[in-house]
Amino acid sequence: MRYKRVTIVTGAIVLGLTAVVLNVDQLYFMSALLLVLPLVGYLIGRSSLQGLECSRQVTDRVFEDGLVRVELEVRNRSRLPKAFVDVEDVLPHWLQPEAPPHFYLPVLWGGESARFAYSARALKRGCFPIGPVQLQATDPLGVTEYRRRVGEAQEAVVYPTALVAVRGEAMDVHPEVAGLAPRAARIGEGVDFSRIRDYLPGDELRRIHWKATARHDRLQVIDFEHTPATSLTLVVDVARRTDVGLGRESTLEYSVKLAASLAHHTLDNGARVTLALRGRRANGIVTAVRSDHYYDLLELLARAEADGETPAATAVVELARTGTLSEAVVVLTAALDPALVEAAREVVLRQARAIIILMDAHSFVGDGPPSPDDPYNRLATALRGVGAEVHRVRRGDDLTRLVGRIIHGAER
């Protein structure tokens, strides 16, 4: 385009000088025409973007590694047609489009609209702005580009994906850890007799009561009352300077992933989950009592950022003193805060289980071995001294095994 402008201006000057030397009226006219054409093209090109509006629809409930579906609608509110317009949506880094969100609009008549759609893969949980839409057009001579942003940016909320709990050994935990799931669901024991009733299709054969079957001359089975699952309070530390690492490999991302997984499995077992965050963008206490409330928890976790002023230990003490703790309290933090010991003591004194998950911040910034005087070991020892269960998580650890250890308990 720069070369075109130089060529037009140079041609107009040459024609003008030649017209002066030769005193030819036609050359004067041609020189003036070359100078006027860019101005006319400017007016046409600029007007080609006027009257255009854009709206966007984004799919709800998108999970990490899933696809965000975006539908764009461009409307021409003016009576004049618009032609040769490029339409491009603006995406953040963590939304990777399947194909470039760039579309060409050859002509759009007055009062009509055009629709475009594309998909982008969510590489990370969070809240990401999409847009506004960038419109671009050129004048008929192709000398100047015209750009205009239309519409407002729209937020795409990406939820963390829950991990499947795997039974087995975990990291740095006491061998006598009891799980949160009902014991009957884990090993087929810990159930109380309820009644004897008629057999129904689908009942397990091992539950048949043979004496009652002989007496009634039809199959009878035993019903049990299952032990209820343990209700859970999750406290995710979102205080400033507690997020260490980059992208998906950071202490906060690990904490959010674990919190979503523990909440999912606890609700699946029929127990209540309370989630507490004390950040600026994500601040509140949400309680879920059924599986369909799970999205309320995910909404808060999706917005979690390390931007708060309240440490996790302070949040736990406040919950304990207001009587809003559950049977088990899980704290996820990367802070080596001595106040965690007092917070765990408050939980234990109220007859609740204190489970502290320490994110090893050192492992998220380097691969070197821990120092001999490891502060994590000192804090873990102090926490266990007041009756807390402690789990230590390093970058690259298998989080599914840790979720399984907490949910199902230690393998005997």
Residues 374, 382: Cα–Cα separation, whole Å? 13
pLDDT for position 244: 94
Instruction: Tell me which amino acid residue 366 is.
Output: G
Residues 208 and 234 in one domain: no
Query: Is residue 296 within 8 Å of residue 274, measured between CB atoms?
Result: no
Confidence band, pLDDT 50/70/90 cuts, at residue 412: very low
Token representation of residue 370: 């821990």
Clarify whether residues 219 and 150 are in a common domain: no
Average pLDDT (83-103) is: 93
Mean per-residue pLDDT, 233-245: 95
**Higher pLDDT residue, 34 or 244?**
244
Q: Is 373 exposed, middle or buried (0-12, 13-18, 19+ CB in 10 A)?
A: exposed
- Residue 310's contacts (CB-CB under 8 Å, 6 or more residues apart) are 239, 278
User: Is 164 within a domain?
Assistant: no
Is 251 in the same domain as 361?
yes
- The answer to the question of residue 365 being in a domain is yes
CATH number at residue 88: 2.60.40.10
pLDDT tens digits for range 105-121: 888 998 999 999 999 99
Q: 145 and 236 in one domain? A: no
Is the confidence at residue 185, as pLDDT, over 90? no
In angstroms, what is the C-alpha Rg of the chain? Answer: 33
What does the pLDDT read at residue 228?
A: 66
What is the Cα–Cα distance from 130 to 261, expressed in whole angstroms? Answer: 28
Same domain, 220 and 233: no
**Residue at 402 is within a domain:** yes
DSSP H helices, 48-194, are 183-187
Residue among 352, 164, 184 nearest 262 (CA): 164
Name the domain boundary from 225, 248, 269.
225
The CA dihedral of 191, 195, 200, 205, to the nearest 10 degrees, is 50
Q: Average pLDDT for residues 296-300, to the nearest whole number? A: 94
| 204-230 pLDDT tens trace | 777 788 888 888 888 888 876 555 678
- 8 Å CB contact between 94 and 65: no
Within 13 A of 202's CA, how many CA atoms are on the CB side?
Answer: 0
Q: Which domain-ending residue is among 180, 208, 225?
A: 225
> In this structure, are residues 254 and 359 in contact, taking their beta carbons and an 8 Å threshold?
yes
How far are the Cα atoms of 48, 79, 307 from residue 109, in angstroms, in the given order?
A: 11, 7, 48
In this predicted structure, what is the pLDDT of residue 194? 65
- Pair 206, 246 in one domain: no
For position 175, what pLDDT does the model report?
Answer: 43
Quickly tell me which residue has 């759009």 as its tokens. 108
Q: Which helix (H) or strand (E) holds 273?
A: strand 273-278
Does one domain contain both 209 and 133?
no
Q: Of 125 and 268, which is predicted with more confidence?
A: 125
CA distances from 178 to 79, 272, 390, 407 (A): 71, 18, 12, 8
Residues whose CB is less than 8 angstroms from the CB of residue 96 and which lie 6 or more positions away in sequence, other chains included: 120, 121, 123
Question: Is residue 404 one of the residues assigned to a domain?
Answer: yes
Residue 178 lies in a domain: no
pLDDT (average), residues 346-363: 93
Tracing tokens 């507690």 back to the chain, one arrives at 242
The share of the chain scoring above pLDDT 90, in percent, equals: 52
Residue 106 within a domain: yes
Q: 69 forms bridges with which residues in the sheet?
A: 119
Residue bearing the bigger pLDDT, 309 or 145 = 309
Claim to verify: residue 219 and residue 344 sit in the same structural domain: no
Q: Do 200 and 330 belong to one domain?
A: no
Angstrom distance (rounded) from CA 199 to CA 210: 11
The partner residues of 277 in beta bridges, in order of sequence, read 284
Instruction: Clarify whether residues 38 and 136 are in a common domain.
Output: no
CATH of the domain at 263: 3.40.50.410
Q: Which domain holds residue 145?
A: 52-159
Identify the pLDDT of residue 3.
Answer: 65
* Structural domains counted in the chain: 4
Going by C-alpha positions, the residue among 315, 363, 309 that lies closest to residue 339 is: 315
Is 263 in the same domain as 291? yes
Query: Comparing 21 with 259, which gets the higher pLDDT?
Result: 259
**Weakest-pLDDT range from 126-130, 244-248, 321-325, 367-371:** 367-371
Flag whether 166 is in a domain: no
Q: Does 134 share its domain with 250?
A: no
- The answer to whether residue 179 is domain-embedded is no
232: enclosing H helix or E strand? strand 232-236
